[in-house]
Amino acid sequence: MSYLEYNVKHVPSGPRKILFLNWPLALLLGAVASVGFLMLYSVAGGSFSPWAEPQMKRFAAGFVIMLFVAMVPIWFWRNLAVVAYAVSIALLIAVEFFGAVGMGAQRWIELGPLRLQPSELMKIGLVMILAAYYDWLPVKKTSRPLWVVIPVLIILFPTALVLNQPDLGTAILLLTAGGLLMFMAGVHWGYFAVVLAALGALITAVFQSRGTDWQLLKDYQFRRIDTFLDPSSDPLGAGYHITQSKIALGSGGWTGRGFMQGTQSRLNFLPEKHTDFIFTTLAEEFGFVGAFSLLGLYALIIFFCISSALQNRDRFASLMTLGIATTFFLFFAVNMSMVMGLAPVVGVPLPLVSYGGSAMLILMLGFGLVQSAHVHRPRGAA
Amino acid sequence: MRRPAKDTAASHRKISRRGLIVGGLQAGFVGLLGFRMRQLQVDQADEFRFLAEENRVNIRLIPPARGEIFDRNGVAIAENEPAYRITIVREDAGDVEAVVARLGKLVELDPEELERAMTEMKRSAPFLPITVADRVTWEDISRVAVNGPALPGVTPEVGLSRHYPMGRDFAHVVGYVGPVSDRDLSRYEDPPPLLRIPRFQIGKVGVESRLEEQLRGSAGAKRVEVNAVGRVMRELSRREGTGGATVQLTIDSDLQNYVQARLGEESASVVVMDLQSGDLLTAASSPSYDPNKFVRGISVADYGLLRDNDHRPLASKTVQDAYPPGSTFKMVTVLAAMDAGLVAPDETVWCPGHLEVSGRKFHCWKRAGHGHMNLEQSLRESCDVYYYDLALKVGIERIAEMARRLGLGQAHDVPMSAVTSGLVPDKQWKQVNRGADWVIGDSVNASIGQGFVLTSPLQLAVMTARIATGRSIAPRLIKTIDGIEQPGTPGESLGLNENHLRQVRRAMYAVSNNRRGTAYGSRIIADEMRLAGKTGTSQVRNITAAERARGVTRNQDLPWERRDHALFVNFAPYDNPRIAVATVVEHGGGGSTAAAPIGRDVTLQALYGEDPPLDAYPSKDRSRIKAQQERLARERPLRGAPSSDQA
Tens of pLDDT along B167-177? 889 999 999 99
Domain assignment of residue A228, yes or no: yes
Domain assignment of residue A36, yes or no: yes
Domain assignment of residue B388, yes or no: yes
Same domain, B307 and B374: yes
Domain assignment of residue A196, yes or no: yes
pLDDT reported for residue A295: 94
Indicate if the pLDDT at residue B642 is higher than 50.
no
Same domain, B494 and B409: yes
pLDDT reported for residue A183: 93
| CATH number, domain with residue B480 | 3.40.710.10
Per-residue confidence band for A10, with pLDDT thresholds at 50, 70 and 90: low
Half-sphere exposure of B395 (CA within 13 A, CB side): 6
Closest partner residue to A318 (CB to CB) among B15, B23, B49 is B15
- Which one-letter amino acid corresponds to residue B158? V
Contact (CB, 8 A) for B468 and B571: yes
Residue, of B146 and B273, whose pLDDT is higher:
B273
CB contact under 8 A, B30 and A299: yes
Residue, of B549 and B412, whose pLDDT is higher:
B412
pLDDT reported for residue B637: 55
Same domain, B420 and B275: yes
Per-residue confidence band for A1, with pLDDT thresholds at 50, 70 and 90: very low
- Which one-letter amino acid corresponds to residue A220? Y
Same domain, B244 and B259: no
Residue, of B103 and B467, whose pLDDT is higher:
B467
Domain assignment of residue A178, yes or no: yes
- Best mutation target among B21, B25, B37 (most A Cβ atoms within 10 Å) is B37
Total structural domains within chain B: 2
Same domain, B288 and B233: no
Judging contacts by C-beta atoms under 8 Å, the chain A residues touching residue B8 are 139
Q: Please count the other Cβ atoms lying within 10 Å of the Cβ belonging to residue B405.
A: 19
Judging contacts by C-beta atoms under 8 Å, the chain B residues touching residue A249 are 37, 40-41, 48
In chain B, pLDDT over 90 holds for what percent of residues? 57
Domain assignment of residue B50, yes or no: no
Total structural domains within chain A: 1
- Of the residues B249, B277, B294, which one is the last residue of a structural domain? B249
Distance from CA of B23 to the nearest CA of A (A): 7
pLDDT 10s digits, B5-20: 444 677 778 888 888 9
pLDDT reported for residue B56: 73
- CA B374/CA B354 separation, integer angstroms: 16
Domain assignment of residue A112, yes or no: yes
Domain assignment of residue B640, yes or no: no
Q: What is the mean pLDDT of residues A242-264?
A: 80
Q: What is the mean pLDDT of residues A152-157?
A: 94
Same domain, B330 and B210: no
Residue A248: name the closest of A275, A286, A217, A221 by CA.
Answer: A286
Contact (CB, 8 A) for B56 and A248: no
pLDDT reported for residue B380: 94
Domain assignment of residue B298, yes or no: yes
- Of the residues B249, B283, B317, which one is the last residue of a structural domain? B249
pLDDT 10s digits, B188-212: 888 887 887 777 889 999 999 999 9
Q: Does B36 touch chain A (CB under 8 A)?
A: yes
CB contact under 8 A, B19 and A310: yes
Per-residue confidence band for A320, with pLDDT thresholds at 50, 70 and 90: very high
Domain assignment of residue A380, yes or no: no
Return phi, psi of residue B136, to 5°: -90, 165
Helix, strand or coil for residue B587?
Answer: coil
Most confident of A200-214, B44-58, B264-278: B264-278
Q: Which residue on chain A is closest to B52 by alpha carbon?
A: A247
Q: What is the mean pLDDT of residues B311-332?
A: 93
Domain assignment of residue B643, yes or no: no
Judging contacts by C-beta atoms under 8 Å, the chain A residues touching residue B226 are 267
Contact (CB, 8 A) for B407 and B463: yes
Instruction: Provide the domain limits for residue B525.
Output: 253-635
Q: Which residue on chain A is closest to B37 by alpha carbon?
A: A288
pLDDT 10s digits, B597-628: 999 999 999 999 989 999 999 999 999 999 99
Distance from CA of B44 to the nearest CA of A (A): 6
Q: Peptide bond preceding A235: is omega within 30 degrees of 0, i.e. cis?
A: no
pLDDT reported for residue B427: 93
pLDDT reported for residue B388: 94
Judging contacts by C-beta atoms under 8 Å, the chain B residues touching residue A253 are 41-42, 45, 49
Judging contacts by C-beta atoms under 8 Å, the chain B residues touching residue A246 are 40, 48
Q: What is the mean pLDDT of residues B581-586?
A: 96
- CA A224/CA A221 separation, integer angstroms: 5
Distance from CA of B283 to the nearest CA of A (A): 58
pLDDT reported for residue B429: 94
| CATH number, domain with residue B82 | 3.90.1310.10
Same domain, B450 and B572: yes
pLDDT 10s digits, B407-447: 999 999 999 988 999 999 999 999 999 999 999 999 999 99
Residue, of A208 and A154, whose pLDDT is higher:
A154
pLDDT reported for residue A382: 41
- Of the residues B227, B249, B271, which one is the last residue of a structural domain? B249
Of A219-228, B157-166, B481-490, least confident by mean pLDDT is: A219-228
CB contact under 8 A, B45 and A291: no
Residue B195: name the closest of B224, B216, B164, B176 by CA.
Answer: B216
Q: What is the mean pLDDT of residues B296-310?
A: 88
Per-residue confidence band for B547, with pLDDT thresholds at 50, 70 and 90: confident
Same domain, B232 and B259: no
- CA B448/CA B327 separation, integer angstroms: 5
Count H helices and E strands in chain A, helices first: 13, 3
pLDDT reported for residue B206: 93
- CA A34/CA A82 separation, integer angstroms: 34
pLDDT reported for residue A28: 95
Most confident of A269-278, B106-115, B422-431, B546-555: B422-431
The CA distances from residue A324 to A329, B33, B43, B58, in Å, are: 8, 21, 35, 47
Indicate if the pLDDT at residue B397 is higher than 90.
yes
pLDDT reported for residue A7: 53
pLDDT reported for residue A16: 80
Same domain, B137 and B282: no
Q: What is the mean pLDDT of residues B559-572?
A: 92
- CA B358/CA B367 separation, integer angstroms: 20
pLDDT reported for residue A111: 61
Distance from CA of B40 to the nearest CA of A (A): 5
Q: What is the mean pLDDT of residues B331-335?
A: 95
Mean pLDDT over each residue of chain B, to the nearest integer: 88
Domain assignment of residue B227, yes or no: yes
pLDDT reported for residue A2: 43
Per-residue confidence band for B646, with pLDDT thresholds at 50, 70 and 90: very low
Q: Does B234 touch chain A (CB under 8 A)?
A: no
Domain assignment of residue A193, yes or no: yes
Same domain, B172 and B261: no
Indicate if the pLDDT at residue A89 is higher than 90.
yes
Geometric angle at alpha carbon B302, from B301 and B308, rounded to 5°: 85
Helix, strand or coil for residue A256?
Answer: coil
Per-residue confidence band for B639, with pLDDT thresholds at 50, 70 and 90: very low
Q: What is the mean pLDDT of residues B261-286?
A: 94
Same domain, B445 and B520: yes
Same domain, B262 and B292: yes
Cα–chain center distance at A366 = 10
Most confident of A14-18, B146-150, B336-340, B539-543: B336-340
pLDDT reported for residue B219: 82
- CA B511/CA A70 separation, integer angstroms: 125
Residue, of A210 and A135, whose pLDDT is higher:
A135
Residues A254/A255/A259/A264 CA torsion (nearest 10 deg): -10
Identify the H or E element spanning A116: strand A114-116
Domain assignment of residue B357, yes or no: yes
